C-alpha cells in the first residue's frame, strides 16, 4: 500500500464508523484538480533546462487549498496527491477554514545556484498564476523550500497581479509579511498535543523518556519544548545517525551542534547509535520527525515505545500502523500532531488579509488554544467510539467535510 492508498484506507474506515454517504466518500477519494507544469529555467552558464512540477488541489470544501511546495529529485504525482489529501484531513481536523493542496518540482536544489533557484521559484508561480491566490490556493514551504523561496513566489505573483497580495503564500520572511511564531509552530504544536495526551493519561512529563528521529526544524523545536517541561530526551538522530544517553541528553549542547552544522554522530554526550537502533529504544514516547515510511514492515516489530507521536508526514506505513496498533501502541497521528505549522500559516494569512501584526506570544497562545481544542475533539471521539486516535481524527475531519458537501450539494 502506498501513502495515498494508506490515507484512503483510513478514510474508508472512518467513513464506515459514521455511515458516511458513499458519494461523499467518493468525492474525497479524488483530487478536484491535478495540474502539471513545465518550467523553463536558464542556467548561469547560458544553458536552458525544463523542470517538471505539480500542484494538486485536493479539496476546497472548507476554504482555499492549502499546502506546501517541495523541491526534491524524487517528487512524483502520487506522493503529491497523497500529501494534498492529508492536508484536507489535517485542516479539517484542526478546524481551520482551508482545504488541502500540495505542490512539488522534480529538482535537486543543491545543484542550483541561488539565481537559478530564484528563476525556478518564480517560473513555478508564472506557470500556476491562474490557479493561485489568497482566496484560491495558498502555498507554503515544505521539503527544501524556505521563507526566501516563499518571498520570491509572493513577489512574482504580486508583480503579475499588479498590486500587493501577501496572503498568496505563507511562511514568508517576517519583514515581508511572515508571522512571528511560524518557525517553532510545528514542533511546539506537537508538544502541546503530547502534553494533552499525557494529562489525559495522568502521566507526569518529568517521568517520560523520549526518543526523536529527525532533528530538523520540527524536531529541534519539539525537544526544546520537551526539555522545558522536564521530559527526559534520551535519544535524537539526523540523517547520518544519532546519540543516546539513558540519563537524558544535554539538549542545549545538541542544539548548539546543530546550529554549527555538526552531525549528531559526533556529539560526545552519549553513545553513538543508528537510526534503526533509535527506533528500537526502550522509550516511553517515540517521535518520528523526519521521513515518510520511516517505520515500516522491516522495523515495526522492533519498536518498544508505547506511544508514537507522528511529527513527520506519513512516518508509518499502513502495515506498520496496523501491526503497532494491534500490539497496543498508541499512535498520535500526523494529521493532528503536526498541524501546528498549518495553523500558524492560517494566522499569517489572517494577519496579511487584515493588515495586522501579532506578537509571538499571541501567536503561540492562539496556537496552543487551537491544538488543545483539536486534541480534545479527537480524544473524545476516539474514546466514545472506541477507535484509534487516527480514526478519531479522520471522523472529526469527515464530519466537518460532510457538512460542507451537504451545504454545497
Q: List C-alpha distances in Å: 29 to 47, 101, 190, 319.
A: 42, 14, 27, 20
C-alpha 354/C-alpha 167 separation (Å) is 10
> Is 209 assigned a ligand-binding role in the annotation?
no
Cα–Cα dist 374/378, whole Å: 6
C-alpha span between 249 and 260 (Å, rounded): 18
- DSSP one-letter string for 64-95: SEEEEEEEETT--HHHHHHHHHHHHHHHHHHT
CB 67 within 8 A of CB 31: no
Is 217 annotated to bind a ligand? Reply is: yes
Extract the C-alpha cell encoding 304.
518498544
Catalytic position from the list 102, 172, 209, 258? 102
Residues 235 and 243: beta-carbon distance below 8 Å: yes
Say if residue 2 carries a ligand binding annotation. no
Is 345 within any annotated ligand binding site? yes
Question: Per the structure block, which three cell numbers stand in for 55?
Answer: 500542484
CA distance 11 to 140: 25
**Would you list the DSSP string of 148-166?**
HHHHHHHHHHHHHHSS--G
> Is 373 in the active site?
no
Exposed/middle/buried for residue 133 (C-beta within 10 Å: 0-12, 13-18, 19+)? middle
Q: Is 186 annotated as a binding residue?
A: yes
The secondary structure of residue 62, as a DSSP letter, is S
Distances in whole angstroms, Cα of residue 131 to Cα of each of 53, 66, 99, 124, 161: 14, 12, 14, 11, 13
Q: Which string of DSSP letters, residue by residue, matches 279-318?
A: HTS--SEEEE-S-TT-B-TTTGGG---SEEE--SSS-B-H
Annotated binding site for substrate: 66, 90, 345
Annotated binding site: 66, 90, 186, 217, 345
Annotated binding site for NAD(+): 186, 217
Residues annotated as part of the active site: 102
Amino acid at each position: 500500500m502506498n501513502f495515498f492508498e494508506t490515507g484512503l484506507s483510513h478514510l474508508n474506515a472512518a467513513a464506515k464508523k459514521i455511515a458516511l454517504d458513499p458519494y461523499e466518500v467518493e468525492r474525497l477519494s479524488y483530487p478536484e484538480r491535478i495540474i502539471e507544469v513545465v518550467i523553463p529555467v536558464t542556467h548561469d552558464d547560458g544553458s536552458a533546462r525544463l523542470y517538471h512540477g505539480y500542484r494538486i488541489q485536493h479539496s476546497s470544501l472548507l476554504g482555499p487549498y492549502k499546502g506546501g511546495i517541495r523541491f526534491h529529485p524524487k517528487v512524483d504525482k502520487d506522493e503529491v496527491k497523497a500529501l494534498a489529501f492529508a492536508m484536507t484531513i489535517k485542516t479539517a481536523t484542526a478546524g481551520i477554514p482551508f482545504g488541502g493542496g500540495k505542490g512539488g518540482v522534480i529538482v535537486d536544489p543543491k545543484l542550483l545556484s541561488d539565481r537559478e533557484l530564484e528563476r525556478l521559484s518564480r517560473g513555478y508561480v508564472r506557470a500556476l498564476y491562474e490557479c493561485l491566490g489568497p482566496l484560491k490556493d495558498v502555498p507554503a514551504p515544505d521539503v527544501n523550500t524556505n521563507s526566501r523561496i516563499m518571498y520570491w513566489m509572493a513577489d512574482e505573483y504580486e508583480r503579475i497581479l499588479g498590486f500587493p497580495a501577501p496572503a498568496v503564500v505563507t511562511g514568508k520572511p517576517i519583514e515581508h509579511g511572515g508571522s512571528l511564531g511560524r518557525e517553532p509552530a510545528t514542533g511546539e504544536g506537537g508538544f502541546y498535543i503530547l502534553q494533552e495526551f499525557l494529562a489525559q493519561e495522568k502521566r507526569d512529563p518529568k517521568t517520560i523518556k523520549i526518543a526523536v528521529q529527525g532533528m530538523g526544524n520540527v524536531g529541534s523545536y519539539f525537544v526544546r519544548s520537551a526539555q522545558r517541561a522536564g521530559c527526559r530526551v534520551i535519544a535524537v538522530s539526523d540523517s547520518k545517525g544519532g546519540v543516546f544517553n539513558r540519563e537524558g541528553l544535554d539538549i542545549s549542547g545538541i542544539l548548539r551542534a546543530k546550529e554549527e552544522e555538526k552531525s549528531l554522530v559526533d556529539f560526545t554526550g552519549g553513545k553513538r547509535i543508528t537510526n534503526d537502533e533509535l527506533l528500537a529504544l526502550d522509550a516511553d514516547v517515540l517521535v518520528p520527525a523526519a521521513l515518510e515510511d520511516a517505520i515500516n514492515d522491516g522495523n515495526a516489530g522492533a519498536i518498544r515505545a508505547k506511544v508514537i507521536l507522528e511529527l513527520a508526514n506519513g512516518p508509518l506505513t499502513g502495515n506498520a500502523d496496523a501491526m503497532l496498533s494491534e500490539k497496543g501502541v498508541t499512535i498520535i497521528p500526523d494529521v493532528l500532531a503536526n498541524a501546528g505549522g498549518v495553523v500558524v500559516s492560517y494566522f499569517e494569512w489572517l494577519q496579511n488579509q487584515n493588515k495586522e501584526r501579532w506578537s509571538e506570544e499571541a501567536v503561540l497562545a492562539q496556537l496552543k488554544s487551537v491544538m488543545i481544542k483539536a486534541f480534545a475533539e479527537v480524544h473524545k471521539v476516539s474514546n466514545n467510539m472506541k477507535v484509534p486516535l487516527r480514526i478519531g481524527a479522520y471522523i472529526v475531519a469527515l464530519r466537518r467535510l460532510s457538512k460542507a458537501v451537504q451545504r454545497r450539494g
